[in-house]
């Protein structure tokens, strides 16, 4: 009887004293929460809101949570540590992107009647050309978990540095090699690219904000788990 009572007390201790499971922290193996891994990052996940080129929350983004492969997160940690020397840091607009979100982009781009965001996001490119010109694609490196969309911020003011265009501006002015910019805008883009490449990322020629980990862990897998 004594042993039975001890067993009951031990069982109750496990049930009531164990920390509650945080469902939000449960991620697919190999992926981490960027904010938890690099607490000083600013996460501004545009596709989890209507503040994006589609004009509404994107499929698969159920929470404003930056997620990436662990290797990508480690590289981001190294970038962030390097930027401190300049009094700067990273703001993350997007990281892992479910395939369902990519499909949402393609459906939107294929609808010629919805041009409500053109003035803000693609004033110099016809909507029908967004897919042929590779601004939107049926598959994205983001879905492999090792691509990020980022910009630089001043650590003191938290203000974004002027990069010449807004995030997700589709057109020549956003191309990485565009020289039709002010001296400070070119310098800011060059600094971002230099530090990202120093820590294992490669840039995308048509988007100054887009970087992919060169040695990504899932080079052929396009994931579709939602961001929760």
- In Å, what is the CA distance from 212 to each residue of 19, 123, 140? 36, 26, 10
The residues annotated with a catalytic role in the active site are 207
**Among 184, 183, 185, 45, which Cα is nearest to 175's?**
185
Predicted local confidence at residue 47, as pLDDT: 98
Predicted local confidence at residue 14, as pLDDT: 36
pTM over 0.85: yes
Predicted local confidence at residue 202, as pLDDT: 98
User: Could you tell me which residues are beta bridge partners of residue 51?
Assistant: none
82 vs 198: CA distance, rounded Å? 10
* Angle of helix 70-83 versus helix 183-198 axis, rounded to 10: 130
Predicted local confidence at residue 9, as pLDDT: 44
Predicted local confidence at residue 22, as pLDDT: 38
Domains of the chain: 25-213 (3.30.1380.10)
At 61 the three-state DSSP class reads: strand
Predicted local confidence at residue 26, as pLDDT: 74
- pLDDT tens track of the chain, all 228 residues? 545 444 434 444 433 333 333 344 478 999 999 999 999 999 999 999 999 999 999 999 999 999 999 999 999 999 999 999 999 999 999 999 999 999 999 999 999 999 999 999 999 999 999 999 999 999 999 999 999 999 999 999 999 999 999 999 999 999 999 999 999 999 999 999 999 999 999 999 999 999 999 999 999 999 999 999
pLDDT digits (tens, 9 = 90+) for 38-75: 999 999 999 999 999 999 999 999 999 999 999 999 99
Predicted local confidence at residue 27, as pLDDT: 87
Predicted local confidence at residue 136, as pLDDT: 97
- In Å, what is the CA distance from 50 to each residue of 61, 68, 190? 11, 22, 30
């Amino acid at each position: 009887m004594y042993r039975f009572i001890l067993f009951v007390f031990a069982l109750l201790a496990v049930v009531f004293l164990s920390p509650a499971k945080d469902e939000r922290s449960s991620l697919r193996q190999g992926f981490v929460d960027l904010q938890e891994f690099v607490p000083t990052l600013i996460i501004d996940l545009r596709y989890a809101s209507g503040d994006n080129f589609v004009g509404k929350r994107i499929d698969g983004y159920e929470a404003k949570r930056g997620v990436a492969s662990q290797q990508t997160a480690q590289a981001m940690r190294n970038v962030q540590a390097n930027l401190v020397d300049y009094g700067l840091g990273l703001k993350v607009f997007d990281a892992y992107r479910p395939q369902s979100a990519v499909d949402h982009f393609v459906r939107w781009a294929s609808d010629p009647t919805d041009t409500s965001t053109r003035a803000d996001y693609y004033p110099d490119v016809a909507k029908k050309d967004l897919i042929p010109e590779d601004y939107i694609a049926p598959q994205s490196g983001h879905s492999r978990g090792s691509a990020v969309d980022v910009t630089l911020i001043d650590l003191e003011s938290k203000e974004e540095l002027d990069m010449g265009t807004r995030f997700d501006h589709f057109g020549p002015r956003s191309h990485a090699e565009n020289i039709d910019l002010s001296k400070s805008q070119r310098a800011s883009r060059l600094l971002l690219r230099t530090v990202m490449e120093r820590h294992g990322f490669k840039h995308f020629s048509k988007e100054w904000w887009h970087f992919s980990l060169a040695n990504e862990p899932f080079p052929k897998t396009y994931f579709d788990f939602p961001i929760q």
